[in-house]
Amino acid sequence: MEWISHSRILIVGLGLIGGSYARGLKRLGFHVSAIEKRQSAVDYALENHIIDDGYTTVEPEIVSSADAVIFALYPEVFRQWIAEYQQLFKPGAMITDVTGVKSCIVYDIQNMLRDDVEFIASHPMAGREVYGVENSDDAIFRGANFIVVPTEKNTAEGIRWIGSLGRILGFGRISVLSPEEHDEMIGYLSQLTHCIAVALMTCSDNEHLVDYTGDSFRDLTRIANINDLMWSELFMLNRESLLKYMDIFLDEFAALRDMIRDGRVDELREKMRLSTKRRAYFNK
Amino acid sequence: MEWISHSRILIVGLGLIGGSYARGLKRLGFHVSAIEKRQSAVDYALENHIIDDGYTTVEPEIVSSADAVIFALYPEVFRQWIAEYQQLFKPGAMITDVTGVKSCIVYDIQNMLRDDVEFIASHPMAGREVYGVENSDDAIFRGANFIVVPTEKNTAEGIRWIGSLGRILGFGRISVLSPEEHDEMIGYLSQLTHCIAVALMTCSDNEHLVDYTGDSFRDLTRIANINDLMWSELFMLNRESLLKYMDIFLDEFAALRDMIRDGRVDELREKMRLSTKRRAYFNK
């Protein structure tokens, strides 16, 4: 499927990311339908012209008329949806997702999927600490990273197609990782950081700290405002990579603690210089 | 001393914070002098009209003509400066600082100081991960927190004076803490967060992660770009409070790790909801 403007797109799950995809794709001239169980989200999206049409149940004719289907669901719900409704897909339809974990679902879904449709996984690195279509905004994609996660089952055409989706939505850098590489990366860059923010936030119950804080604590705890249902599921589905990085971090942090406790200032400064040097990679 | 516009202010140490004070005070009409050992910083400040006059050595007549002196030095350098040059202060001069640790220096300095001048400690919570007068900007104070740190040696007039300084520079909330309360608070909100950022940054040496990351990792590691000389000194001078919070954090983080490892999802979600609730205090 080429990205031509008479393509019909179906978005399943109209939260922050699904809603932001809808906004961006509708702005580009695509016909955008949505299936979302929350009636108020569908109403909001229709009233604000984020979608062309929306449904709270799986309408067969809407699924079977879509050239492309984007799933923005929690991982387990996504898997169940495919198992239950995949017979409705139009032959030749392209399917992608936005799921934050990959190896635990991509192979399963590709293995159960019909041969005449293609599922190519992707992950827009554009989460926010707010939720729902009411907070959606396709500006969050501008300059952000977009990860394409193909397997051996994917076609060159499918990989080109998903790269185009990332480009037309305004993402900055589009990279390709295997499901295993993706999950390892996400265990460190995203899941570990969320664990750290939660642990930092729960160290003190002093309600007055807001009167004294600078920006660094605010920055480190922005994501401590966390959707417990979504993130606990993501953590459990990527437990191995996450635990690996939690243990690496525990070792690094405990080493730093020991340097401070023992007054080993030279080693402490060496560690800070290493940190500064590595952070510079992220200034690009 | 009242804050009248013909007051002469001396700033000792023209880095990011000293330079930002200079900009704000000069904008308000004060006569601002600076003593700063780096010639290029003095030159920059003069060329950019950040100060009225500047010196790389301690000029007696500049110190003795100042109605107020603001020290923006590293803690140990500040202490040595007072020991060596305090005889130069004008009788009745008001003295403050911007130092990030308090109990280890405030009492010492007040004990050694002449009786006819007053040192009232304060801490502008407006650090940045950039350094030097070249990056100074008094807009960093707008809405930020300002902590006044008096002891029993301070006068009501001194406490009023320093509160006025915070207000005229544009700080949002001005609070009063004892040196011990200040250091406990800073151990958690500022020093622990810097330790976390450094440890997180040093968990991986993969230079390509920038292509995959979202905003959360960037936020948590912004301060991993760290001045190793300044922060190692601050850590050592506040070792007790910092180590206390490092151990609390280690316990919280390890508990989270165990919940994930053991699949105790209900407890994990409970912890995330607590984190979300506590983070809400910081949205004010």
pLDDT in tens, A232-276: 999 999 999 999 999 999 999 999 999 999 999 999 999 999 999
Say whether residue B202 is in contact with chain A using an 8 A CB cutoff: yes
* Helix boundaries (H) for chain B: 16-27, 39-47, 60-64, 75-85, 103-112, 156-168, 179-186, 193-201, 215-221, 228-237, 239-262, 265-280
Rounded-to-5 percentages of helix, strand, coil across chain A: 55, 15, 30
Q: Stretch A76-91: mean pLDDT, rounded? A: 97
Q: What angle do CA A248, A187, A157 make, to 5 degrees?
A: 140
pLDDT in tens, B107-139: 999 999 999 999 999 999 998 888 899 999 999
pLDDT in tens, A170-188: 999 999 999 999 999 999 9
pLDDT band at B4 (very low <50, low <70, confident <90, very high): low
What tokens were used for B16?
A: 């990011």
pLDDT in tens, A102-161: 999 999 999 999 999 999 999 999 988 888 999 999 999 999 999 999 999 999 999 999
Interface test with B, best of A148, A184, A215 (most B CBs within 10 A): A215
Q: Are strands A31-35 and A8-12 parallel, antiparallel or unpaired?
A: parallel
Q: What's the complex ipTM?
A: 0.91
User: Is pLDDT above 60 for A1?
Assistant: no
Q: Do A231 and B272 touch (CB under 8 A)?
A: yes
pLDDT in tens, B22-81: 999 999 999 999 999 999 999 999 999 999 999 999 999 999 999 999 999 999 999 999
Residue A3 phi, psi dihedral angles, 5° rounding: -85, 80
Residues of chain B with Cβ-Cβ distance to A275 below 8 Å are 197-198, 201-202, 224-226
User: Is pLDDT above 70 for B86?
Assistant: yes
CA distance A41 to A56: 9
Q: Nearest Cα to A192, choosing from B87, B33, B103, B217?
A: B217
Say whether residue B145 is in contact with chain A using an 8 A CB cutoff: yes
pLDDT band at B5 (very low <50, low <70, confident <90, very high): low
pTM confidence score: 0.91
* % chain A with pLDDT above 90: 92
Provide the b/e sequence for B57-88 (b: ≥16 CB within 10 Å).
eebeebbeebbbbbbbbbbeebbebbeeebeb
What is the average pLDDT score of chain A?
95
pLDDT band at A6 (very low <50, low <70, confident <90, very high): low
Q: Do A193 and B220 touch (CB under 8 A)?
A: yes
What is the average pLDDT score of chain B?
95
